[in-house]
Amino acid sequence: MNKAAKTKANSMLSLPAGNVPAPGMPKKHRVGGASLDAKKARSGWLFLAPFIIGLFFIYAPVIVDSIKFSFAQVKPLRGGGFRLIPVGWENYNEALFVNPDFTRELVTGIKDLLFDVPAIVIFSLFMAVLLNQKMLGRAVFRAIFFIPVILCTGLIDKIDADNPLSNYMQNTTSSIDTGSGTDTVNAIVNATDIQWMFSSMKVGTELVTYVVNIMNNIYDIINRSGVQMLIFLAGLQSISPAIYESCDIDGASAWETFWKVTIPMVSPMILVNAIYTVIDALTSADNSVMSFITDVYNGAGGQELSSAMSWMYFLIVLGLIGIVAAVLSAFIFYQRRD
Amino acid sequence: MDNVKNTPNTAPKITKETKNKIRVEFERTSAWTRFKIKYLQSGFFVSALFKIARFLLLIGIAYVILMPFFTKISSSFMSGEDFVDVTVKLIPKYPTLDTYKAIIKDNAYFQALFNTVLLSLMCAIIQTFICALIAYGFAKFKFKGNSLLFGIIILTMVVPHQTLQFSLFMRFRYFDFLGSLNIFNLIPMPTANMTNTFWPLALMSFTGLGFKNGLYVFMLRQYFKGVPDELEESAYLDGYGPFETFIKIILPLSIPMLITVFLFSFSWQWTDNFYTTLFFPTVTTKLMPNIVVLPKSLDTTIAPSMYASAVNNACAMLIIAPLIVIYLFCQRYMVQGIERSGITG
């Protein structure tokens, strides 16, 4: 073993001073190399080596480049390589104050995100509770409900979104379904007349419009809540049945058990899912702000501008994640585990 | 003896007794009373109503999920006449395979399929192994900087790749090993153009930076945390090193979880159109996103936009057909794997 590795390992030691050889002492007595803790720490670094290499040689440079690009203009050189001309805040300035659409897209995008997150989290919790119950054909329902996780992603999402029929269909009397899922749902929603159902309850009109919007986008919401359902299902499975048994013996109704046992026990998952939903919406292909940014990217000379725009969007959403995490973590119940 | 004589009043009378069976006579509650107690009460009605409502709701949502697939399939078999005919709703009157034939022939489907299988298999295998390696390092080894690095992993998941697309592209377009770290260009490095090859995705998979790898590391870390430490300690006592223990003990243990991660990474790489369009800017290497165009030989003038939609649907079906087969076999593992991972915070 070379000396450098040994000193590195020693420096990582967090053992009492007695175990570390004093500088003057001969190091001969440590025949087996470093102590167990140091060995474990070293193999920990070895296991992480691929990621650390990637971090230093790909990810960190990419992040740094992206920030640099957002403050510069890129000129490709003839012999390969490229040159950066720093332009200061010009890209940001252009995105915010010159580009006519960016601010509008940003505001609507963030508003949609804020409205979608509770809908998706509540829906996926509801579905996970249903799919966790014992019933006829549970395996089949589970198999069907997780289809969107695998099949309705990326390219397929894009094909659905680009479907030239989906706009056209709404204005015609032709009866062929576009296959984008919205038509089916619209038919159901029209048949049930939710607006009428809700207007008879004494709730504000904002809530009514919100719920009606959710119902209109239920296909979208189902598609986007697959992983969240899986996470909630895992959380529900990890609740000990003994708790439910004792509730049953004490005479608690199913409704009470849900609010007093299930909700607190899955509350860490609610936080995880809220954050996952925000991230997923942020990185998904059908995100309106992101597709706007992609359009800018594909436009002439818009690469640097798109970097600036997406950094701004990302920082805003990161701030939102922070707020959501701070608010939700006040309500989280952590089961003590020893 | 008196006791024995008194018992027949309370004990059931034996009518027939053989070696294995015994038949006794007793007064049974009448069928009607049993029926009344079991079914004619509010609890049964409420639970039955609840079960029916639940079943209907699940059927309804399953319909919403499955219907688009049915309509996609049916419209992909339609011929031009069906789009003009108003009476055609779901089942085509003049079913034809022309759409599929045209896509397979004109858009070089099999070439795209072959390339995508190669790419997805490569990425999925590398990502599953590397993510398991990294996750195991996070789960079982305590060292300084462990939680900081895990935070960075989560950050790689949070930063949208659109934010990095330009710099990612530039990075692999003009690839050198030092890149931005070579701040003052002290060492002039030759650059390599890696676009249109599998190298960018291979390198990103090898370093745990691929598509949604942060999620896989997170899942696997939670799973490995649940593996008892005693297992490894006994392996160490038997003379295994940490890496040997990982390969020979931990990996075989966690095959269901690995299948889950493999399924995710394979299918998400399969349908990914961000990295494939970013790293394959020219269509020299045909991949799945490249087949979603209108085939030249198809005459779509009869109903242009509807026909285009049908072609898109047929493309979507062709793209996900292999995934459906895999899903049918592996979906069991997906649910089980997630359940066992215990993402319980």
CB-based contact, A161 to chain B, within 8 Å: no
pLDDT-derived band at B63, boundaries 50, 70, 90: confident
pLDDT-derived band at A226, boundaries 50, 70, 90: confident
Distance between CA atoms of residues A163 and B311, nearest Å: 10
Residue B263 near residue B150, CB atoms below 8 Å: no
Q: Are residues A161 and A237 in the same domain?
A: yes
The CA–CA distances, whole Å, from A64 to A23, A309, B88, B164 equal: 41, 16, 56, 10
Q: Which of 218-257 (A) contact B at CB < 8 A?
A: 218-219, 222, 230-231, 233-235, 237-238
Q: What is the pLDDT of residues B5-42, one digit of tens each?
A: 555 556 667 777 788 888 877 777 888 888 888 888 88
In a domain, A287, yes or no: yes
Across the interface, whether the CB atoms of B313 and A144 are under 8 A apart is answered no
- Helix (H) or strand (E) holding A73, with range, is strand A72-76
Instruction: Tell me which of A238 and A63 has the higher pLDDT.
Output: A63
Residue A36 near residue A9, CB atoms below 8 Å: no
Instruction: Supply the ipTM of this predicted assembly.
Output: 0.75
Q: Are residues A52 and A116 in the same domain?
A: no
Residue B191, pLDDT score: 65
In the predicted model, what is the mean pLDDT of residues B267-293?
A: 80
Query: Which residues of chain A make contact with B273, given a CB cutoff of 8 A?
Result: 154-155, 158, 285
Distance between CA atoms of residues B96 and B80, nearest Å: 9
The distance from CA B254 to its chain's CA centroid, rounded to whole angstroms, is 17
Backbone phi and psi for residue A227, each to the nearest 5 degrees, phi listed first: -65, -40
**Average pLDDT over all residues of chain B:** 80
Minimal CA separation from A22 to chain B, in Å: 22
- pTM of the predicted protein model: 0.77
Q: Are residues A234 and A115 in the same domain?
A: yes
pLDDT-derived band at B64, boundaries 50, 70, 90: confident
Which segment of A27-36, A292-301, A316-325, B125-134 scores lowest on mean pLDDT? A27-36
In a domain, A80, yes or no: no
Residue B64 near residue A185, CB atoms below 8 Å: yes
In the predicted model, what is the mean pLDDT of residues B104-110?
A: 83
Q: Are residues A218 and A150 in the same domain?
A: yes
Residue A232 near residue A142, CB atoms below 8 Å: no
In a domain, A27, yes or no: no
Nearest residue to A117 via CA among A313, A265, A284, A270: A270
Q: What is the pLDDT of residues B250-260, one digit of tens each?
A: 898 888 888 88
- Cβ-count burial of B202 within 10 angstroms (0-12 exposed, 13-18 middle, 19+ buried)? middle
Across the interface, whether the CB atoms of B160 and A181 are under 8 A apart is answered no
Give the residue from B134, B143, B244 with the most A CB atoms within 10 Å of its CB, the best one to mutate.
B143
Residue A18, pLDDT score: 44
pLDDT-derived band at A188, boundaries 50, 70, 90: low
Across the interface, whether the CB atoms of A188 and B149 are under 8 A apart is answered no
CA atoms lying within 13 Å on the CB side of residue A91: 27
Distance between CA atoms of residues A31 and A250, nearest Å: 63
Nearest residue to B130 via CA among B216, B8, B249: B216
Q: Are residues A133 and A282 in the same domain?
A: yes
pLDDT-derived band at B219, boundaries 50, 70, 90: confident
Distance between CA atoms of residues A333 and B100, nearest Å: 54
Chain B residue with minimum CA distance to A265? B344
In a domain, A23, yes or no: no
Which segment of A50-59, A62-71, A73-82 scores lowest on mean pLDDT? A73-82
Distance between CA atoms of residues B338 and A227, nearest Å: 10
Q: What is the CATH number of the domain that holds A245?
A: 1.10.3720
In a domain, A87, yes or no: no
Across the interface, whether the CB atoms of B166 and A59 are under 8 A apart is answered no
Minimal CA separation from B34 to chain A, in Å: 25
- Helix (H) or strand (E) holding B164, with range, is helix B161-173
DSSP state of B40: S
Q: What is the pLDDT of residues B151-204, one digit of tens each?
A: 888 888 888 777 777 778 877 877 766 554 555 455 556 666 777 788 888 888
Chain B residue with minimum CA distance to A79? B191
Q: Are residues A66 and A106 in the same domain?
A: no
Residue A294, pLDDT score: 77
CA atoms lying within 13 Å on the CB side of residue A283: 23
Q: Are residues A63 and A110 in the same domain?
A: no
In the predicted model, what is the mean pLDDT of residues A273-297?
A: 79
Q: Are residues A40 and A98 in the same domain?
A: no
Q: Is A173 helix (H, G, I), strand (E, B) or coil?
A: coil
Residue A121, pLDDT score: 92
Rg (CA), chain B: 31
Q: Is A68 helix (H, G, I), strand (E, B) or coil?
A: helix
Query: Which residues of chain B make contact with A156, given a CB cutoff of 8 A?
Result: 271, 316, 319-320
Distance between CA atoms of residues A84 and A67, nearest Å: 12
Distance between CA atoms of residues B188 and B166, nearest Å: 23
Minimal CA separation from B122 to chain A, in Å: 17
Give the residue from A51, A170, A219 with the most B CB atoms within 10 Å of its CB, the best one to mutate.
A51
Residue B1 clears pLDDT 60, i.e. is over it: no
Residue B244 near residue B136, CB atoms below 8 Å: no
In the predicted model, what is the mean pLDDT of residues B314-319?
A: 85
Residue in B159, B162, B209 nearest the CB of A54: B209
The angle at the Cα of B179, spanning B174 to B181, to the nearest 5 degrees, equals: 170
Residue A249 clears pLDDT 90, i.e. is over it: yes
In the predicted model, what is the mean pLDDT of residues A291-316?
A: 79
Query: Which residues of chain A make contact with B143, given a CB cutoff of 8 A?
Result: 12, 40-41, 44-45
Minimal CA separation from B285 to chain A, in Å: 17
In a domain, A144, yes or no: yes
In a domain, A334, yes or no: no
| Ramachandran quadrant class, B108 (left: phi over 0; alpha: psi -120 to 50; beta: rest) | left
Query: Where do the DSSP E strands lie in chain B?
Result: 13-17, 22-25
pLDDT-derived band at B215, boundaries 50, 70, 90: confident
CA atoms lying within 13 Å on the CB side of residue B63: 11
Neighbours of A107 (CB within 10 A): 11
Residue A332 near residue A267, CB atoms below 8 Å: yes
Q: Show contacts of B289-294: CB within 8 Å, 24+ apart.
A: B289/A155, B290/B107, B290/B112, B291/B103, B291/B107, B291/B108, B291/B109, B291/B112, B291/B315, B291/B318, B291/B319, B292/A155, B292/A159, B292/B316, B292/B319, B293/B107
Its domain, for residue A66, covers 3-13+32-70
CB-based contact, B317 to chain A, within 8 Å: no
Q: Are residues A98 and A206 in the same domain?
A: yes
Residue in A65, A141, A166 nearest the CB of B62: A141
Residue B296 clears pLDDT 50, i.e. is over it: yes
Q: Are residues A53 and A104 in the same domain?
A: no
Residue B300 near residue B294, CB atoms below 8 Å: yes
Distance between CA atoms of residues B109 and B17, nearest Å: 75
CB-based contact, B261 to chain A, within 8 Å: no
Q: Are residues A134 and A223 in the same domain?
A: yes
Residue B134 clears pLDDT 80, i.e. is over it: yes
Chain A residue with minimum CA distance to B76? A179
Query: Which residues of chain B make contact with A43, given a CB cutoff of 8 A?
Result: 141, 241-243
Backbone phi and psi for residue B25, each to the nearest 5 degrees, phi listed first: -105, 125
Distance between CA atoms of residues A240 and A236, nearest Å: 9
Q: Is A76 helix (H, G, I), strand (E, B) or coil?
A: strand
Residue A301, pLDDT score: 67
Six-digit token pair at A21? 């050889």
Nearest residue to A99 via CA among A236, A233, A289: A289
Distance between CA atoms of residues A274 and A321, nearest Å: 9
The CA–CA distances, whole Å, from B33 to B28, B39, B45, B268 equal: 10, 10, 17, 58
Residue A175, pLDDT score: 44
In the predicted model, what is the mean pLDDT of residues A152-167?
A: 64
Distance between CA atoms of residues B217 and B133, nearest Å: 9
The CA–CA distances, whole Å, from B304 to A25, A43, A175, B68, B80 equal: 86, 62, 16, 21, 9
Six-digit token pair at B323? 């995934």
Chain B residue with minimum CA distance to A227? B338
The distance from CA A234 to its chain's CA centroid, rounded to whole angstroms, is 17
Residue A63 near residue B158, CB atoms below 8 Å: no
Query: Which residues of chain B make contact with A69, given a CB cutoff of 8 A?
Result: 166-167, 170
Q: Are residues A318 and A209 in the same domain?
A: yes
In a domain, A246, yes or no: yes
- Helix (H) or strand (E) holding A320, with range, is helix A303-329
- The structural domains of chain B, ordered by start, are 107-291 (1.10.3720.10)
Residue A184 clears pLDDT 90, i.e. is over it: no
Residue B153, pLDDT score: 87
Across the interface, whether the CB atoms of A234 and B89 are under 8 A apart is answered no
| Number of folded domains that form chain A | 2
Residue B267 clears pLDDT 60, i.e. is over it: yes
In the predicted model, what is the mean pLDDT of residues B108-114?
A: 86
- DSSP-derived secondary structure for B305-319: HHHHHHHHHHHHHHH
Chain B residue with minimum CA distance to A13? B143
Residue B140 near residue B222, CB atoms below 8 Å: no
